[in-house]
Amino acid sequence: MNFFINATMPDHKSGIEHAELKRLALFNKNNEPAKLVLCDWDPNGHITANQAGIQDEQIINLFDYFQETSNVTAKLIQVQDIEYGVLDAQYTDDPTNSRYLVTANNQLIARVNYKQDDTRPVKSIEWFDGFNNLYCVDHYDARGFVSLKQWYTADNKIGTETWQTPTGRVVIEAFHKQTMRGNMQKTSWRLIDRHNKCQQFDTRTALITYFLDCLNEDYWSLDYPNVFILDRSHLGDQALLQLKKPAYTVFHLHNAHTADAQDPEAPLFNNNYEFALNVIDGYDAVVSATHKQTADVRTRLQPKAQLFTIPVGVVSNKLLTAPHVPLANRQFGKMVVFARIAWEKHLDDLVRAIGIVHREIPQVTLDLYGYPDPGDNYKAQHEVEAVIAEYDLADVVTLKGYTTKIDEVQNNAMMYGLTSRMEGFNLAIMEAISHGLISFSYDVNYGPNEIVADGVNGAVVPYGDYQALAAAILQVLRDPALAEKYIEGAYQSAERYSEAAVWDAWKKLLSDAQASWATKIAAMPGHRRG
């Protein structure tokens, strides 16, 4: 079995989630078994995964696994379906806060929080004692059962969390204690496993390690290896090194491996990858999305692990064979971007470039699609808004928010811009060239300076030079023949990321996993085959 390890599959997905979805579709199309392994509790996880096209059979969530809820028939739970333990409960709607206040004899019994839609399904219930103290919160899975109970201390802090089966049997507990600074933090986990044995863990990492061991055991075979692909390193960078039985472990780089993305020899590693890079030989393989990063990892670390270059993006055959949209059918000067408004995307620089272009070509516009990063009180968005004001671009630059209508937007636009501080590949710019958009990017590691071929499908300018970016955009807008050349070049260069090309890359890794399996089996203590 092939396992893709992540935290969850949220509604608003990052590049890693989009990469996993494309990979899962590719594996499915080629009849290669695969499952998405999720390690975070998420009451909406199955719903959002199903909406993304993932069936329950291909999802294994750590909590579902032990709660026996991997496959559950959904049912609607509303306020009147709850047993409150009192006679003549009264429900008072508080629509402003999306909740009901449940009382009896003028005593608050519970606050029932609901999802704001026509059916108002219960999301959680806050329970109060006779002295109006909150003592417990029941959190409902979106499929209609209590999944998590949070028990509160006398000073209104979470003391214990319990996860239960739909029948109410507790299977996981997390205990919280107060630190010397007065903060509550998890100090241990207790699990009643599928064999009704009690397992105690000091850390979440230890719990995840046990979970992955269980999966490895469930699908283990002498004939073929389980392949664990670690897409978020913090979830299993230690766990995959400690599996009790052999497996083929893959550490997947989704971003620059150094703190300074522009310097592959920078002394500090990207803190998300620091542990894994320091024990890189403990993995069987390392995957990078670009040839440049693979080469830089080889030069810097000289690992014993096998190195593979596999794009995280796939351009579907349907898109590759779709009619090309010529310049005449695109909105002249329209640039679009699909990205979180975050520090690493450095979108304020892109707005500066557009501000310079707008002085000469007033038809230019920029639409930013993506949700804002709330970090540092939405600092990145405020920086973008400040540049919009500085260059008087209120009617030129629009923050559109999150959208899934990529085809419609990109087939109408003319250009795509990217001014990131760091990247691991950038699916959005790959999708841009597959729609024939002329792309402009900083020379940034990794991905954009490989996906964008300077002088073929757009322009790559020195990192941080927004004035050079503006000049490159102006050159194209002044020259329709050059624009047509870049549009056609974009369509042609997208073929590098066809389903067949990316699957060939994955087949090399899977072949290596199979080729190494006999050696792994022979190395097992006490093993005799045949």
Tens of pLDDT, residues 23-58: 999 999 999 999 999 999 999 999 999 999 999 999
Neighbours of 117 (CB within 10 A): 8
Number of domains in the chain: 3
Tell me, yes or no, whether 328 and 468 share the same domain.
yes
Residue 126, domain extent: 79-204
Residues 156 and 281 in one domain: no
Q: Are strands 227-230 and 198-201 parallel, antiparallel or unpaired?
A: unpaired
Of 185, 204, 223, the residue that ends a domain is: 204
Q: Give CA separation, 113 vs 78, 138, 150, 348, in Å.
A: 10, 10, 15, 39
Here the CATH number for the domain that contains residue 411 is: 3.40.50.2000
Domain boundary among 204, 219, 251: 204
My answer on whether 289 and 185 are in the same domain is no
Instruction: Supply the pLDDT for residue 489.
Output: 97
DSSP state of 182: S
- Judged by phi (left if over 0) then psi (alpha if -120 to 50, else beta), residue 336 lies in beta
Same domain, 236 and 268: yes
Q: How many beta carbons lie within 10 A of that of residue 507, not counting itself? A: 12
Quick one: 438 and 474 in the same domain?
Answer: yes
DSSP state of 11: S
Residue 173 lies in a domain: yes
Average model confidence (pLDDT) across the chain: 94
**Domain shared by 171 and 259, yes or no:** no
Burial group, residue 205, by CB count within 10 angstroms (0-12, 13-18, 19+): middle
Please give the average per-residue pLDDT across 132-160, as a whole number: 95
Handedness of CA 57, 59, 65, 69 (dihedral sign): negative
Q: Note whether residue 529 is domain-resident.
A: no
Residue 457: per-residue pLDDT: 97
Please give the pLDDT value at position 456: 96
Question: Which of left, alpha, beta for 464 (phi over 0: left; psi -120 to 50: alpha)?
Answer: left
Distance CA 234, CA 273 (A): 8
Task: Quote the pLDDT of residue 16.
Answer: 92
Q: Where are the alpha helices (DSSP H) in 108-238?
A: 204-218
Identify the CA nearest to 24 among candidates 47, 49, 4, 44: 4
In a domain, 525, yes or no: no
What is the DSSP pairing of strand 458-461 with strand 438-442?
Answer: parallel
Establish how many alpha carbons lie within 13 A of residue 496's alpha carbon, considering only the half-sphere containing its beta carbon: 21
- Token pair 């950038």 is found at 426
Could you report the per-residue pLDDT of 124-135, keeping only the tens digit for each?
Answer: 999 999 999 999
**Residue 218 scores a pLDDT above 70:** yes
The answer to whether residue 146 sits within a structural domain is: yes
pLDDT band at 530 (very low <50, low <70, confident <90, very high): very low
Are 62 and 86 in a shared domain? Answer: no
Residue 512 lies in a domain: no
pTM over 0.85: yes
300 by Cβ neighbours in 10 Å (0-12 / 13-18 / 19+) ranks as: middle
Asked if residue 397 belongs to a domain, the reply is yes
What whole-number distance in Å separates Cα of residue 28 and Cα of residue 15? Answer: 20
Residue 518 lies inside a defined structural domain of this protein: no
- Residues 108, 198: one domain? yes
CA 291, CA 309: separation in Å to the nearest integer? 6
Does 277 reside within a domain? yes
Same domain, residue pair 293 and 331:
no
Beta carbons of 110 and 128 less than 8 angstroms apart: yes
Do 354 and 460 reside in the same domain of the chain? yes
**Same domain flag for 197 and 260:** no
Q: What is the pLDDT of residues 153-198, one digit of tens each?
A: 988 899 999 999 999 999 999 999 887 777 878 889 999 998 899 9
Which among 309, 339, 362 is the end of a domain?
A: 309
**21 & 169 share domain:** no
The percent of residues above 90 in pLDDT, for the chain, comes to: 88
pLDDT the model gives residue 528: 54
